[in-house]
Amino acid sequence: MSGVQTMAMAKALNAGLRQAMLDDPKVLLMGEDIGPLGGVFRVTEGLLAEFGDKRVMDTPLAESGIVGTAIGLAMRGYRPVCEIQFDGFVYPAFDQITSQLAKMTNRHEGKLQMPVVIRIPYGGHIGAVEHHQESPEAYFAHTAGLRLVSPSSPNDAYWMIQEAIASNDPVVFFEPKSRYWPKGEVDTSASPQALHSSRVVREGTEVTLVGHGAMLAVLLQAAEVAAEEGTSIEVVDLRSLSPVDYEPILASVRKTGRLVVAQEAPGFVSLGSEIAATVTERAFYSLEAPVIRVAGFDTPFPPAKLEAVYLPDADRVLEAVDRALAY
């Protein structure tokens, strides 16, 4: 596969995983129903037939066991990629990820690498039941020793999954499940952007909007509506959640003087809170208004019929833009 192709994010992730497995025979895939079924979102479809059951392994329904086994494999020189079937299923593996995987390299003074990728489909917009639409990024971003990334487009998904697998540090790879199916261009012959970098995806002059994953589509929609009303919005795709690449964000805020940070996760003690605090510290004299956060409510994720009320939409983002411009 080479050149520019149009594909959905799920297909782009599949292509990226396939390329990583072709490039390195030590790359293994592990997870529930990822073999003959191809995963519940079909991200691993066809890979069992191509690479065999020694490299694409269906596992028991035991997330702690999946990650614990991956840690052991990494110790022996393999590069395991674990699929957590849904975001809310990751918590049985939380101890393995935060107490072992994140700390193993530091515990061995850098002599032992942990090239493990934890793939987590996350977020709402699919009308699912409890434990299937959560956004648990902050739990892992708070844990030193883990890297966190989240693509918002098929092209980023294709390249970022390969870069994550190539990393010698553990990477938690958050896949916005509501973006699995919309299609976009994937340039398989281009040079990828650095994994831990943010970027401006829409130029503007009056307000900066920052978000990641599925929130990018909402921010771009809000920016289009604002443009029709005469307001120029700049949109920054975070891409990397830990570490955060602040320079494009700070450069944008120094230009616009206003910042709105948006996320699906609850707002209290969140990634958005951290970005708001850091920008306030580092670009205080450039701000014409307080940094405003738009987030899910500080409640458990509601039943599917209420998700549209819970999740930030373009109207909530635009209301925050109006508040920022009112100063």
Query: For residue 201, what are the contacts with CB-CB under 8 A and spacing of at least 6?
Result: 216, 220, 235, 236, 237
Task: Give tens-digit pLDDT for 194-238.
Answer: 999 999 999 999 999 999 999 999 999 999 999 999 999 999 999
Catalytic residues: 132
What global pTM score does this model have? 0.96
The band of 1, judged by pLDDT with boundaries at 50, 70 and 90, is low
Look at residue 266 in the predicted model and tell me its pLDDT.
Answer: 96
Domain locations along the chain: 7-187, 199-325
Look at residue 128 in the predicted model and tell me its pLDDT.
Answer: 82
CA atoms within 13 A on the CB side of 5: 13
CA 78 to CA 55: how far, in whole Å? 10
Residue 324 near residue 287, CB atoms below 8 Å: no
The C-alpha angle 246, 202, 263, rounded to 5 degrees, equals: 60
pLDDT at 77 over 70: yes
Residue with tokens 């059951």: 53
Instruction: Confirm whether 7-187 and 199-325 share one CATH topology.
Output: yes
Is domain 7-187 given the CATH code 3.40.50.970 in the classification? yes
Averaged pLDDT score across all residues of the chain: 96
Task: Give tens-digit pLDDT for 80-109.
Answer: 999 999 999 999 999 999 999 999 999 999
Fold of 199-325: Rossmann fold (3.40.50)
